[in-house]
C-alpha cells in the first residue's frame, strides 16, 4: 500500500484534463519535489468542496467564532493555475473523508483508492496490504481556497439544460422532458 502524506502540501488543488463533456477530474497534492494525482469523479469534487465549507462553518458555529477560520477564501491563497504536468494517475479514489483536527486547528482530507475492502476513514493504523491513501493536512484558509477553486472547476463544464438539468453539448441534447426532442444551446 502506498500512503501519500502531505502535512502541509505546498499545493493542493482540484483540476481537470480535457474539454467540457470529456473532462477527467483529479485531486493533486504537491510538496517536497513530489506530486500525487488522484483520479476522482466530478461529483466527488463537488461534494468535497461543499462538505469542506459545511465543516468549516460548523466549526466556526461551535467555537462561537473563536476558531481561526475565514468566512470566505482569502484571495492571497487563490490558485487558478493548471494541474502540474504530466498528470500521472497514482490511483482512483473510491472514498473521500475529511475531519477537523481541533488540536492543530487544521483540516484533514483523505482519499482512499477504490477497493473491495476500504479502510476505516482517517485511521492511524494503515495495513501494509491495503488500498493506497492520499492524506492532506491544510489550514482552514487553505481549505476555503480549495473549496472555492473546486466548485469553480466543477461549474466550468457544459451548461445544464434549463428543462431537465442534464448537460448540454455544443449541439444540444435529447431532452427527456421534451419527449426525446432535441434541445439546442442558446
User: What range does the domain containing 74 cover?
Assistant: 3-155
Residue 66 has pLDDT above 90, yes or no: no
Mean pLDDT of the 71-76 span: 89
* 175 and 103, same domain (yes or no): no
Dump pLDDT digits (tens) for 119-145.
888 888 877 788 999 999 999 999 999
Nearest to 18 by CA among 63, 72, 83: 83
* 76 and 123, same domain (yes or no): yes
Residue 185 has pLDDT above 60, yes or no: no
Within the chain, how many helices (H) and strands (E) appear? 2, 9
* 169 and 140, same domain (yes or no): no
Dump pLDDT digits (tens) for 89-121.
999 999 999 999 999 999 999 999 999 888 888
| 81-to-84, 85, 149, 179 alpha-carbon distances in Å | 9, 11, 10, 42
Dump pLDDT digits (tens) for 2-22.
899 999 999 999 999 998 888
The CA-based angle 133-139-141, given to 5 degrees, is: 125
Amino acid at each position: 500500500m502506498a500512503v501519500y502524506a502531505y502535512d502541509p502540501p505546498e499545493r493542493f488543488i482540484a483540476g481537470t484534463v480535457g474539454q467540457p463533456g470529456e473532462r477527467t477530474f483529479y485531486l493533486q497534492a504537491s510538496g517536497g519535489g513530489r506530486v500525487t494525482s488522484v483520479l476522482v469523479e466530478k461529483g466527488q469534487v463537488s461534494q468535497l468542496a461543499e462538505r469542506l465549507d459545511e465543516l468549516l462553518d460548523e466549526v466556526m458555529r461551535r467555537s462561537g467564532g473563536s476558531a481561526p477560520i475565514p468566512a470566505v477564501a482569502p484571495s492571497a491563497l487563490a490558485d487558478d493555475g493548471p494541474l502540474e504536468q504530466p498528470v500521472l494517475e497514482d490511483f482512483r479514489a473510491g472514498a473521500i473523508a475529511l475531519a477537523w483536527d481541533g488540536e492543530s486547528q487544521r483540516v484533514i482530507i483523505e482519499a482512499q483508492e477504490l477497493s473491495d475492502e476500504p479502510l476505516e476513514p482517517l485511521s492511524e493504523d494503515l495495513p501494509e496490504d491495503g488500498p493506497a491513501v492520499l492524506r492532506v493536512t491544510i489550514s482552514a484558509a487553505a481549505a476555503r481556497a480549495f473549496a472555492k477553486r473546486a466548485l469553480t472547476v466543477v461549474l466550468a463544464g457544459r451548461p445544464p439544460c434549463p428543462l431537465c438539468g442534464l448537460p448540454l453539448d455544443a449541439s444540444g441534447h435529447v431532452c427527456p422532458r421534451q419527449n426525446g426532442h432535441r434541445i439546442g444551446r442558446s
